[in-house]
Every structure is written in C-alpha cells, then in structure tokens.
Structure 1
Amino acid sequence: MRTGTRISKQKQLFLKLIPMTESVNKHEEFLPVTRKKWICKKKIAKTHKHILDNKCLAEDFQSFKNKFIVKLNKQCNDMSTCDYFAQAIKVLEQSLREINTEAQNIEKVICFGLGPFTRHVQALHQLVFVICVQRLYKVKECLYFDPIFNETERKILHELNCFVMSENCEAKYEVEQPTLFYMPHCPGPLTNNLLWCNWEPKKLQNVILINNSFESITSNQPERILRTDLSYILDIQPYVKEFIIEDDYELQSIFNDLSVHAFPRFNLPPPDSDFWQKKDAPVYTDDSILTLNFATLKL
C-alpha cells in the first residue's frame, strides 16, 4: 500500500516536470553558459583593463613630464641668474684657461651619480646646474648615468636631448677632447677610476672635473686608506689645479665642498716619466661602493 502510493507520487512529480522542460526548450528562455565561454569573457575583460591601465599610465607620464619640464625650465631661469651660478662659471672659465682650450670650449658633458632628480630635491638642483652649463656652452653631447634612475627619469633626460648610458662603466670613461665631468658627492673610487682610465698627460689634460675637493679628500683621510682605495687621487694631488666653488647657494647641502679640478699639461710630470706607468684596474676593499645610489649617500 505504501509502495504503490510512493510510485504514484513519483509519477505525478515526473509528469509535472515534463511541461516545464518542454516550455524551456520551446521558448529557449534559458541558455547554458559553458566554462569555455566564461574563460573567454574573463580574458577579454582582463585585456581591456590592461589596455586601459597602459593608457592611463601613458597619460599620467605625459602629464607629469610636461609639468616637470615646466618646473625645470623655471628653475633653470632662476639658476642662470643667481650669484652662485655666476661665480661657478667664473671659476670654470678660469680652469678652462689653465688647460688652454680653444675659446674655453667644452665638447662634452658627462654626469655620474646625479641621483633621483624627480624624487630628491638636491638631485633636482644638481640637474638644473648641469643643464644651465650645457646650454651656456652649447654642448651638444651630454651623457648621464646613475643606477638609481627610474624609467620616468630616463625618459625625461631623453626629452632634454641627453643620452643615458645603458651600462654602469663605474666612471672608467676615456676622453680625447675637452670633457666636463660633473660628479657631485660621488664615492671616491669613482673619481679614482676616472683618473686611472685617463692616466697619461694628453688624456688627463682634457678632463675638467667638478666634484668633492681633492684637497679635502687627501687631508681628511689617513694616507694608508688613501693608498689602498684612492691611490690615483693621492698621486695626482700635487699636480692638479683646484678651484674652489664658494657655496653661497640659497639651499644648503647641495653644492657644498665642490671644486673644479683641471690638469694642465705644463703642470704634469713629463710623458716619459715612471709616474705614468699603467697599472691594472683598481680593486677596492669594498666594491659595493661603486654601485651605491644617491639616496644612500650622506651629503
């Protein structure tokens, strides 16, 4: 009795479901969503979002770049008319006369260790100074390198007609023409590398170097340490012509302890002197100092 009742109820339920199924198939009100279609739609949505994100990034960079260059040009105008820049150029021209360059000309400007100029106010003012020098002397070739530069900073330098080196040469850069090296507050081994790479009179006379005072470096450290890590700075110190740039800039700790260093040929030992004996590339007790970025340096 109970079994027959249970079968009868199941049949009734089955008969009720048949019209519903037929109605769905007839009118096709519901379509099944397969996993394949769902994945496809999800991929399209992600791609669309990626395109929008890239577009926003491009627009953000363009807007930031335009605002930054407007700010940079304003600061260049301020720098070019300030007392600090006037006396720095006077000192630079004095050093150029010492090495007897024609019409006090600078053929190239190379800047190592400038720092993250879109993120650090000190680095920004250093960049402004270099650009003002570049414009004043109409230098067409200007090279930069700092391992801390981000993609935005590299793009901005390209916009300013400057070239960013792709590899860290650790300041081992050989010159054949009058070249201004701007290396504000860089680690001593970088300057030591630059001297080593140009360790002969005809090359060294083309080096004009703005960085921390050689006199301060050699007088504030024991000779034992200098001989180990900064031997080329120590050896050239008696022959270098150093011109101090007085730090009267409106902001402190930006241009402090900087000098122009020139190496006039008449002031150097004779070319055939043992003084110029070429040695292997310098090796330092702490090589990591060569890759330090601006943000870690104490000014």
Structure 2
Amino acid sequence: MSGTGEGWQVARRRKGASKKCKNHPVSSDSKCDQENLDVGQLVKRIKKTMSDLRCEEFWKEWKEQLLVAASTSLLRPPENNDTVNQLGEVYQQLDCVCYGLGSFSTCVSARYQLAMLLLLLETGQIPLHDCSVYDPAFSHGERDVLRELGLTVLTENEEGKRPVTKPTLFYMMHCGKALYNNLLWRNWRAQSLSQVMIIGNAFSGMRERTIEREFKQDYSINRLPQSSWTDSPEPQYQHRPDLEIILRASQS
C-alpha cells in the first residue's frame, strides 16, 4: 500500500472555511432538478473545470507526487525526469475505483474532485471504462453524466469491500473512515495489501480525530499485527446508525 512521503501533507480546514458538501435532505424540487439534468451541459462544465485545473501549479506538483507514490509503493521506481511519460507507463497497469465522490451536479468541491480524477486518468492513460465509480448520493441524472464521460458506474454498494487481484488505485477523497476500514479489512493480507494505492485521507489524521473507545470498537483493522491479517472479523458497526456509508441491508 502506498506510503506517505514527505511531499504529502494533510490539508486541515481553516477556521471559517466551508465544510465538505454533505448529503442533506433536499426538497422535491431539488431532486427533480438532479434527475432532469442537462447531461451535455454538465459534461461541458466538468471538462471546463479540467481545463482550468491543467493550468494550476497544484496539478503539476500533484502529478509528480503521484508518480513517486505509485512507482515506490506498487511498481518500478522512476528512471529519469520524464515524469509525464513515466506516469502514463505506471498508471496504465492499474485498475481504478472511486468511492464517495458526492453530488457533483450541486456541490462545487465534488465537481472539482471529479475533474481531478479525470485528469489523473487522462495523464495516466487509463481507459475511462476501467475506472469504476460509486456513491449512493448519485442521482439518475448524475449517473447518466458519468456514463457519458465514459466511466463505469457501479450498480451495487460494495461498502468498500472490494477484493484486489492486481495493482489498484482507490480514489477516496474525503470518504468516511468506515469505507477505508472496510477496504483494508477485505484486503488484509500481504499479497493484496501490497497492491492497494489510496488517494484520500491520512490514517494518522483519522486516528487523531476519533474517540479512542470508538476507534477500538469499530476500526481495529488499523492496529492489528501482521499475524492477525487473515483472522480479523468482518466490520459490522452495529452501534453506529449514523455511518456515512449506506449498508446493503438498508437498501431497497
């Protein structure tokens, strides 16, 4: 699994800064707007966002950091300074899964995260259909937009429990810790965990922001010794009705 190099930093929210878009209950009018999206217009807006990001120094720096992280944790190390071509060679070998993107038709930060994902796939020359996306917050209209962009929209809530059989990039920007926990649990063996690369939140930050009692009850996967990799029970979260993931049993 990818390590955290010195170039990676935890982005902490400033006082007064707006929080990440949440999936609050919406009015029937808002739901209607989401279901009746102008697919072509939203696709154009997303591509415009991609164009804007290409010009940002942030994207250029992030691109190089991604090359180092992927080549160090999953594949061969870079051999020269041709980072763009090498990034493509590295990422062509990856599967890609995106969880928890959010409602990008109404949330600006979710739309920028989607644009960043598309830039990553473009630069890495990963076929769009090789990237699977899922969020229970997606409306029918948003799923149509994702398919129009060429991405594969999952129809089943995997709860993050996807087994890895080849090097796989998980794009989980600002997902809740239960999704990370489930992903680690499903792949908690040396041959699988070594093929997992995550773009998302720092585990150390999750630990710092979680009550110790809660962490021990629900997220013990992050502190198990190697000898327990194949013996850990499936996470249930039975006493946590406020989870940020929707369990299959509660879905119609």
Partner of 2:42: 68
Tell me if structure 1 keeps the 8 A contact 2:74–2:194: no
Tell me if structure 2 keeps the 8 A contact 1:170–1:190: yes
Partner of 1:135: 122
Partner of 1:112: 99
Partner of 1:166: 155
Tell me if structure 1 keeps the 8 A contact 2:187–2:193: yes
Deviations 1:101-144 (A, max 9, x none): 15423522111110010111111011001011011111120111
Deviations 1:174-225 (A, max 9, x none): 1111111111111111100000000111111111101111111123334332
Q: What letter is aligned with 2:204?
A: E
Q: What letter is aligned with 1:151?
A: H
Tell me if structure 2 keeps the 8 A contact 1:181–1:210: yes
Aligned to 2:215, which of 215, 219, 226? 226
Distance 1:282 1:100, change over 3 A: closer
**Length, aligned pairs only:** 196
Deviation at 1:282, TM superposition (A): 0.7
Specify the structure having the higher radius of gyration (Cα).
1
Q: Is residue 175 of structure 2 the alignment partner of residue 186 of structure 1?
A: yes
User: SS of the residue aligned with 2:204?
Assistant: helix
Partner of 2:113: 126
For 1:147 and 1:220, the matched residues in 2 are separated by 25
The structure whose residues are more often helix, as a share, is 1
For 2:203 and 2:240, the matched residues in 1 are separated by 21
Aligned to 1:95, which of 69, 85, 104? 69
User: SS of the residue aligned with 2:243?
Assistant: helix
Partner of 2:231: 278
For 1:80 and 1:230, the matched residues in 2 are separated by 37
For 2:115 and 2:71, the matched residues in 1 are separated by 24
Aligned to 1:85, which of 52, 55, 59? 59
* Structure 2: gaps of 5 or more residues: 1-32, 77-88, 247-252
Tell me if structure 2 keeps the 8 A contact 1:226–1:234: no
Q: Which of 1 and 2 has higher RCO (CA within 8 Å, sep 6+)?
A: 2
Tell me if structure 2 keeps the 8 A contact 1:199–1:278: no
**Superposed structure 1 runs of 4+ greater than 4 Å apart:** none
Tell me if structure 2 keeps the 8 A contact 1:170–1:290: no
With the length of structure 1 as denominator, give the TM-score of the two structures: 0.61
Deviation at 1:288, TM superposition (A): 4.3
For 2:114 and 2:94, the matched residues in 1 are separated by 18
Tell me if structure 2 keeps the 8 A contact 1:142–1:162: yes
For 2:214 and 2:60, the matched residues in 1 are separated by 36
For 2:74 and 2:233, the matched residues in 1 are separated by 31
* Structure 1: gaps of 5 or more residues: 1-56, 236-268, 293-299
Partner of 1:291: 245
Identity among equivalent pairs (%): 29
Deviations 1:200-257 (A, max 9, x none): 111111111011111111233343321111112344xxxxxxxxxxxxxxxxxxxxxx
Q: Is residue 139 of structure 2 the alignment partner of residue 153 of structure 1?
A: no
Deviation at 1:287, TM superposition (A): 4.7
Deviations 1:49-102 (A, max 9, x none): xxxxxxxx9xx75xx222222221111111123112122222211111222415
